[in-house]
């Protein structure tokens, strides 16, 4: 009799555990670079905060290093419902939400503080609101960092030094128009292909923030780094209405709050990589140009800026530039 009573308790406990397990939802999150990158830091905090805030009802499975494709493919997967969350740079996002393209204009932001205040303020929040009409939900702005040029040919101090270089870029017309003004031959390419293309000499160089250059080990296939800081590259946590539509109002608040905490962690890692990463890249064999002719790069953009003003509105550009 005693044994039967214990067996009944055990079966009841197992049934309870089974109910918990069946109630748990596993969310897939993808990003382009390794887990030990700034994207990995941000994604891990997002996942931890979601799991904690929902008492384990939601947890994440991470797919780093472009395991699910390039950023554009992952955004498409979120839109289609085959991926739950993507942590992506804004590079390809403008192909889905055109209003995002304005933040990709070269030399739009003065520094990190300026960029973060713009994105976290009314201008940035208004852009996030545009996603819902495109079958996407932007949880929060996060960060990739200021982009710098690397190449295998020569140091770059001024635009003339970059002239003729075949440089991998994202599939982003705003970026590409600016690079052409520098004399560069922009070559759009999905991120998973970049290391091999640099190694084989298919392209001469690429441009990315310090954290990406570090995480991707580009020092192994690139000799020269120039701290051009020509574009500030934001990033975003993007999910879908399909995911958000299943959440209670309380859980939605958890997801948004988790994204804000994760963005702060990702930005901190960008700061840390910026502070220590350049010296590390030098140790890894890169020759670094710390002082470029920034004014010459800005002067080269007069024609593209006229085009940007027509596309986005000169007043809208000025609002961002003048934001305090």
Q: 189: domain range? A: 24-321
- pLDDT computed for residue 2 by the predictor: 44
Q: What stretches of 127-282 adopt beta strand conformation (E)?
A: 137-151, 166-169, 185-188, 205-209, 224-239
> In the 8-state DSSP scheme, what is residue 101?
G
Run of H or E including 26:
strand 25-30
Judge whether 5 lies within some domain: no
- pLDDT computed for residue 23 by the predictor: 74
Judge whether 124 lies within some domain: yes
- pLDDT computed for residue 171 by the predictor: 86
- pLDDT computed for residue 127 by the predictor: 98
Judge whether 58 lies within some domain: yes
Judge whether 237 lies within some domain: yes
Judge whether 256 lies within some domain: yes
Judge whether 116 lies within some domain: yes
CA distance 224 to 221: 10
Beta strands 85-89; 224-239: pairing state: antiparallel
Going by C-alpha positions, the residue among 253, 269, 268, 266 that lies closest to residue 50 is 253
Query: pLDDT 10s per residue in the chain (324 long)?
Result: 444 444 444 444 444 444 444 479 999 999 999 999 999 999 999 999 999 999 999 999 999 999 999 999 999 999 999 999 999 999 999 999 999 999 999 999 999 999 999 999 999 999 999 999 999 999 999 999 999 999 999 999 999 999 999 999 998 999 999 999 999 999 999 999 999 999 999 999 999 999 999 999 999 999 999 999 999 999 999 999 999 999 999 999 999 999 999 999 999 999 999 999 999 999 999 999 999 999 999 999 999 999 999 999 999 999 999 998
Model pTM above 0.75 = yes
At 282, which CATH number?
3.40.190.170
Judge whether 211 lies within some domain: yes
Judge whether 11 lies within some domain: no
Overall number of domains in the chain = 1
Q: What is the largest CA-CA distance in the chain?
A: 90
- pLDDT computed for residue 15 by the predictor: 44
CA distance 115 to 111: 6
């Amino acid at each position: 009799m005693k044994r039967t009573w214990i067996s009944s308790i055990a079966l009841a406990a197992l049934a309870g555990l089974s109910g918990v397990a069946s109630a748990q939802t596993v969310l897939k999150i993808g990003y382009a670079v390794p887990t030990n990158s700034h994207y990995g830091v941000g994604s891990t905090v997002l996942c931890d905060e979601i799991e904690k805030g929902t008492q384990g009802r939601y947890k994440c499975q991470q797919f780093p290093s472009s395991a699910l494709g390039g950023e554009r493919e992952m955004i498409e997967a979120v839109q289609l419902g085959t991926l739950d969350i993507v942590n992506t740079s804004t590079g390809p996002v403008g192909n889905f939400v055109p209003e995002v393209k304005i933040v990709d204009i070269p030399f739009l932001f003065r520094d990190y503080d300026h960029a973060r205040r713009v994105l976290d303020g009314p201008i940035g929040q208004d852009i996030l609101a545009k996603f819902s009409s495109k079958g996407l939900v932007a949880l929060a702005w996060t960060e990739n960092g200021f982009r710098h040029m690397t190449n295998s040919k020569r140091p770059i101090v001024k635009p003339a030094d970059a002239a003729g270089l075949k440089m991998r870029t994202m599939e982003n017309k705003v970026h590409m128009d600016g690079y052409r003004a520098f004399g560069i031959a922009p070559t759009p390419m999905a991120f998973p292909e970049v290391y091999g293309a640099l190694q084989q000499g298919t392209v001469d160089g690429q441009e990315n923030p310090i954290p990406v250059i570090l995480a991707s080990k580009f020092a192994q296939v690139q000799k020269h780094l120039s701290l051009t800081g020509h574009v500030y590259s934001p990033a975003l946590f993007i999910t879908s209405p399909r995911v958000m539509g299943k959440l209670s109002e309380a859980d939605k608040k958890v997801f948004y709050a988790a994204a804000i905490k994760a963005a702060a962690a990702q930005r901190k890692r960008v700061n840390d990589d910026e502070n220590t990463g350049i010296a590390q890249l030098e140790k890894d064999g890169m020759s670094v140009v710390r002082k470029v002719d920034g004014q010459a790069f800005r002067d080269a953009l007069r024609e593209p800026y006229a085009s940007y003003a027509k596309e986005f509105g000169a007043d809208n550009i000025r609002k961002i530039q003048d934001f305090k």
